[in-house]
Amino acid sequence: MLKVLDSAVPVACWSCSVAHNESILFCPHCSKIQPPPGGDYFSVFGLAPRLDLDLGMLEHEFHRLSRKLHPDRFARALPNEKDWSLADTALLNDAYRTLRDPIRRTGYLLKLQGAEMGEEHSGKDRKDPSRVPADLLEEVFELNMQLEEMRMARKMGQTDPDLQADLTAAKKKFDGLLDAVDQDLRGQWKVWDEGDEAARQSAQKTMVALLDRRRYLSNLVRDVTETLGA
Amino acid sequence: MSEGRVVGIDLGTTNSLVAYMEGAAPVVIPGVDGSNLVPSVVALDPLPEGGGRPTVTVGNSARRALIETPERVIYSVKRLMGRGLSEVQSELKLFPFRLADDVEAGEVPRIQLGELKFTPPEISAYVLRQLKRNAERFFGAPVTQAVITVPAYFNDAQRQATKDAGRMAGLEVLRLVNEPTAAALAYGLDRANVGTIAVYDLGGGTFDISILKLRDGIFEVQSTNGDTHLGGDDIDNLLLTIALDEIYSEHGVDLRAHPSAVQAVRKAAIDAKIKLSTEQAAQFDIELPNGDRYQREIPRAVFEQLIEPVLERTAGPCKQAMTDAGLTPDQIDAVVMVGGSTRIPAVRQLVDDLFQLAPRGKKPHIELHPDEVVALGAAVQADILAGASTATEEMLLLDVTPLSLGIEALGGTVARIIQRNSTIPASATEHFTTGVDGQTNVAIHVVQGERELAADCRSLARFDLKGIPPMSAGLPRIEVRFLIDADGILQVSAREQRSGKAAQIEVKPTYGLSDEQVESMILESFDHAEEDFAKRLLIEARNEAETILSAVERAPESPAWQQLTGEEQAAVSAARDRLAAVKLGEDAAAIRDATLALDQATRRFAELMMEAAVTTAIRGKTMDAAGEEMGDEVTAPHPMAPAEFK
Ligand SMILES: [Zn+2]
């Protein structure tokens, strides 16, 4: 399980001492700001984990909570209130950034469910042939050759219109594959949000694979775009 | 806890301003000389006879020293804030000031100014202290809290250096605000608050572009980009280089060895640049030390061709900011222009093209004074922070971090943990472990930037996690939390999860001053205690009294004096005697009152004097010449203009 924040959760409000539910940002009794709650990103917005979200509602909640939590509202507050405003707002921002983006949101929910995920920021495994989706092996091999050729040509100051056209076509094809992955993902969202436990388990497995494929494809598209645009 | 006013400060490369919220409108606070702009120039007066520290002057008076004693003057110090030795060295090539001889790699570079040495934050602190004093004089009360603006693209070290400068000047910096965002606040104050706006900010030394979404008083920055090495200074330097090269090739005079001559040419270059914003041509006409004259005309077309590469460098960041925000030019509802350099017609044209304004029947917004808009916005943010103001209670600024934060991973690659354009405060939690049995330290290298290799990014700090309980390799689990606060500055905390022990962190900022160093640099001044503030008020009140008394002393010599009635003369004498007596006391308020009373009593006399003076002036000169002199006073000063060297 992903642990969002590590601060100790008090059982009682620091200000009025009335006991409260631990996953709140403000004391229901005296309205004072509380230390970051221990829940997940969804709970920051009062939501149960789900994948199909109303982004308009999410933005509205983000703005409403920002108005109450932001450090600008605590510039002259007590030192502990300042600290919690900072920590709570960071949590709110991290949560909003993650949940409003469909891919990040999916990845986050899968991690929350204990799925093993590839790391978003490790770009170095891109060249690892074992990570190439099986149905794309041949095309990827071909594409990598062309990319290498293109880079060499560039270095020599040459242009190769045929190669350029091939790469542009390849980019279009992989863009299309990306779109297909996104469509499939959306289909799985519905299954996860509405299905029973067994359906969820199977949707999770499918989504982990889809996200892997997606990461691979978008790295590839980025490489092609960079090489074409250089 | 101080509940005094919070002021907004624009600490600029060329000029600095302080502003505050007067009711529902932000207002710039003028200095003693009546000018809203304090040139960001600091000069060291001559060494006092008999020893002691020379006095430091700031602003217009410091600028006057540029020609006479250039080795005792420093300006554009913002370009040096938070920078390392090699960066400062390359920066200084075009400026007349020099690094201190004994600066070592790894420490904050110090600049030699006369016989003293100062770090860039210390220089900025002098400018800030001047602004603080202007505000205190204006309010008649101490000012201890401020919002200071920084270029949006400033990195962690540059932000920290700015905060350090505030602390040295006796200011608690409640918030650093990004300059383009501040400008948006100033513009958004009295407008229908809906839409997407871009702020194009080309100042003296930095360029920023920010794209914001405005809705119901929330100013949400979508993306920001820029170049902290690009601005009007670069344009000045282009013109300067041309002039110096031509003077050398045509007249055989190498001015580069003479700092004061270079200053004079720089001044001519700045004048030419300003003139070219409104005229089709400008002239260089400079007298050389060997008696020759360097004369040259610069047509606007030539100027525009010359500066095109500089202006073109702003296009990339603009496009990137739009891409990052997921927007196309036609989705930008308005573009706000900020900074003195946006007066250049070619800049406005470039912006028009970039955002496709003309085809959409739009124009860049220039309604607010481009030199004042950032300070005005800082005042709005100061008001938001002070709270309890109806004008700003609905407003909230949500800004972003301009640069990605990463950790150096194996092989020198960067693992990005917080992406650029993330809304701040933002945080990331990472886990680290040991590679060797019994290892008790783990070193972490944090960098800022978008490149793949750590060596190509900017080193931010090295953290040493100490006191890890000795365990088998890979067993400790150290959780490190990175948090970028609302000022855009990194905070780090760590703990070992298995033992639950908070790990000690030793932070070595790659560029920057330690807390102790900042403490030791706090400007020796009496800005802190109330009692010292009272002392200063007393000194100022006495100075003012002294000024008016010496004027009244000479009054009977004036013909205007004879025009007063006997009663009026007696009233002046009585008020004068009273002030002279009160001045000896310790009561600043009483001295002020007596000064005011004398001022009142001499009002009619002053009017008569003025009449006489104006008559003489007009009789003595042609109307044209008189008008020209007046003109100097009434036009708004250009940020790079009003140098008054003779
Ligand atoms: Zn409470």
| Full residue range of the structural domain in which residue B437 is found | 405-511
User: What pLDDT, on the 0 to 100 scale, is given for residue B355?
Assistant: 96
Query: Within this chain, do residues B392 and B411 fall inside the same structural domain, yes or no?
Result: no
Hey, is the C-beta of A196 within 8 angstroms of any chain B C-beta?
no
Query: Within this chain, do residues A202 and A131 fall inside the same structural domain, yes or no?
Result: yes
Does pLDDT of B4 surpass 70?
A: yes
B310, B330, B360 - which closes a domain: B310
Report the pLDDT averaged over residues A95-101.
Answer: 96
Cross-chain residue pair A86–B483, CB shorter than 8 Å: yes
Report the pLDDT averaged over residues B127-143.
Answer: 92
Report the pLDDT averaged over residues B334-343.
Answer: 93
Query: Within this chain, do residues B21 and B51 fall inside the same structural domain, yes or no?
Result: yes
Report the pLDDT averaged over residues A28-32.
Answer: 87
Report the pLDDT averaged over residues B632-639.
Answer: 29
What's the Cα-to-Cα distance from B440 to each of B375, B472, B494, rounded to whole Å?
A: 49, 11, 14
Query: Within this chain, do residues A48 and A86 fall inside the same structural domain, yes or no?
Result: yes
User: What pLDDT, on the 0 to 100 scale, is given for residue B190?
Assistant: 64
Query: Within this chain, do residues B177 and B74 fall inside the same structural domain, yes or no?
Result: yes
pLDDT tens for each residue of B260-278? 788 888 889 999 999 999 9
- Chain A residues lying within 8 Å of B6, measured CB to CB: 75
How far is residue B243's CA from residue B254's CA, in Å, rounded to a whole number?
11
Query: Within this chain, do residues A139 and A44 fall inside the same structural domain, yes or no?
Result: no
H or E segment to which residue B632 belongs: helix B623-634
Does pLDDT of B624 surpass 70?
A: no
B398, B433, B455 - which closes a domain: B398
User: What pLDDT, on the 0 to 100 scale, is given for residue B315?
Assistant: 95
Q: Is residue B103 part of a domain?
A: yes
For all residues of chain B together, what is the average pLDDT?
84
Ligand 1 centroid to A84 CA: how many Å?
14
**Choice between B75 and B518, residue whose per-residue pLDDT is larger:** B75
Residue B153 burial (10 A CB sphere; 0-12, 13-18, 19+): buried
User: What pLDDT, on the 0 to 100 scale, is given for residue B466?
Assistant: 81
Residue B636 — left, alpha, or beta (φ > 0 → left; ψ -120 to 50 → alpha)?
A: beta
How far is residue B49's CA from residue A187's CA, in Å, rounded to a whole number?
84
pLDDT tens for each residue of B454-484? 888 888 888 888 888 888 888 888 888 899 9
A100, A134, A162 - which closes a domain: A100
Give the CATH number for residue B131.
3.30.420.40
Name the residue among B218, B427, B479 with its Cβ closest to that of A63. B218
Q: Per the structure block, which two tokens stand in for B414?
A: 């960067």
Does pLDDT of B618 surpass 80?
A: no
User: What pLDDT, on the 0 to 100 scale, is given for residue A79?
Assistant: 92
Strand order in the sheet with B111-113: B98-99, B111-113, B116-118
pLDDT tens for each residue of A61-74? 999 999 999 999 99
Give the CATH number for residue B633.
1.20.1270.10
How many folded domains does chain A comprise? 2
Q: Give me the active site residues of B, please.
A: 10, 78, 179, 201
How far is residue A93's CA from residue A114's CA, in Å, rounded to a whole number?
23
pLDDT tens for each residue of B293-303? 889 999 999 99
pLDDT tens for each residue of B60-111? 888 877 777 888 899 889 989 998 888 888 878 767 778 888 877 778 899 9
User: What pLDDT, on the 0 to 100 scale, is given for residue B646?
Assistant: 28
Q: Is residue A184 part of a domain?
A: yes
Query: Within this chain, do residues B57 and B169 fall inside the same structural domain, yes or no?
Result: yes
Query: Within this chain, do residues B47 and B189 fall inside the same structural domain, yes or no?
Result: yes
For residues B174 and B158, the answer to whether their CB atoms sit within 8 Å is no
Q: Is residue A110 part of a domain?
A: no
How many folded domains does chain B comprise? 4
Q: Is residue B356 part of a domain?
A: no
* Torsion of the alpha carbons at B147, B152, B158 and B161, rounded to the nearest 10: 0
| Full residue range of the structural domain in which residue A96 is found | 10-100
Q: Is residue A83 part of a domain?
A: yes
Hey, is the C-beta of A90 within 8 angstroms of any chain B C-beta?
yes
Nearest-neighbour CA in chain A from B413: distance (Å):
9
Ligand 1 centroid to A30 CA: how many Å?
4
User: What pLDDT, on the 0 to 100 scale, is given for residue A2?
Assistant: 28
Give the CATH number for residue B248.
3.90.640.10
Q: Is residue A24 part of a domain?
A: yes
Ligand 1 centroid to A73 CA: how many Å?
18
Query: Within this chain, do residues B457 and B587 fall inside the same structural domain, yes or no?
Result: no
Angle at B36 between CA B63 and CA B45, to 5 degrees: 25
